Amino acid sequence: MNSLNEVWSTRFNHYINEVQKYMRFVFTGHLAIVLVFIVGAVGYQYSEWLKVAPDTFPAEWIVSIIVGVILALSRPVTLFREPDQVYLLSLESKMTLYFKKALNYTFWSQVGLAVVIYIVAIPLLKAVTELSTNQIWLGVLFIAVLKFLNVQIEFNYRYGNRGENIVIDRITRALLSIITIQTALIMNYTMAIIFVVLLIVYNMALKKKVLRQPVPYEHFVKLEQNRMMGFYRFANYFTDVPHLKGSIKQRSWLNFVYNIVPYGKKSTQNYLVYRTFIRTDDHFYLWVRLTLISGIIAFVVNIPVVTWIVAGALAFATTLQLKYALLSSKDFRMDRLYPVKESQRKEAVQKVLRLFMVVQAIIVLLCSVGQPLFFVPAIIVIVLNEITFRVSKDPSKHDYSY
- Measured between alpha carbons, how far is 148 from 35 in angstroms, rounded to an integer? 30
Q: State the pTM of this model.
A: 0.77
- Measured between alpha carbons, how far is 248 from 271 in angstroms, rounded to an integer? 17
Same domain? 171 vs 64: yes
Quick check: is 335 in a domain?
no
Counting runs of H as helices and runs of E as strands, what totals does the chain give?
14, 0
Query: Which residue type, as a one-letter code, is found at position 167?
Result: V
Burial state string for 42-51 with b = 16 or more CB within 10 A and e = fewer than 16: beeeeeeeee
Contact 323, 354 (CB under 8 A): no
pLDDT at 301: 81
Quick check: is 308 in a domain?
yes
Same domain? 76 vs 20: yes
> 103 is in which domain, residue-wise?
4-234
Facing residues of 248 across strands?
Answer: 280
Supply the DSSP symbol for 248: B
**Listed residues 181, 203, 234: the one ending a domain:** 234
Same domain? 163 vs 303: no
Q: How many domains, in total, are found in the chain?
A: 2
Torsion angles phi and psi, residue 372, rounded to 5 = -65, 145
Quick check: is 401 in a domain?
no
Quick check: is 333 in a domain?
no
pLDDT at 399: 47
pLDDT at 359: 94
Same domain? 221 vs 115: yes
pLDDT at 195: 96
**Residues ≥6 apart with Cβ < 8 Å to 138:** 184
Quick check: is 241 in a domain?
no
Same domain? 230 vs 264: no
**Listed residues 204, 234, 264: the one ending a domain:** 234
Same domain? 23 vs 56: yes
Quick check: is 194 in a domain?
yes
Contact 56, 165 (CB under 8 A): no
pLDDT at 329: 61
Same domain? 221 vs 272: no
Neighbours of 315 (CB within 10 A): 27
Same domain? 99 vs 177: yes
pLDDT at 401: 39
Quick check: is 84 in a domain?
yes
Same domain? 303 vs 212: no
**Listed residues 203, 234, 265: the one ending a domain:** 234
Same domain? 258 vs 306: yes
Quick check: is 114 in a domain?
yes
> pLDDT truncated to tens, each residue of the chain (402 aa)?
458 888 899 999 999 999 998 888 777 656 677 777 778 878 888 888 898 888 889 999 999 999 999 999 999 999 999 998 888 888 888 898 899 999 999 999 999 999 999 999 999 999 988 888 899 999 999 999 999 999 999 999 999 999 899 999 999 999 999 999 999 999 899 999 999 999 999 999 999 988 888 999 999 999 999 999 888 878 876 666 776 666 788 888 888 888 888 887 777 788 888 888 898 888 888 899 889 988 988 888 888 888 888 889 889 988 988 888 888 765 556 556 566 676 788 888 889 999 999 999 999 999 988 888 888 999 999 999 999 988 887 766 654 333
Torsion angles phi and psi, residue 280, rounded to 5 = -85, 120
Alpha-helical regions (H) of 211-267: 217-236
Same domain? 159 vs 262: no
Neighbours of 394 (CB within 10 A): 14
Torsion angles phi and psi, residue 211, rounded to 5 = -65, -20
Same domain? 376 vs 228: no
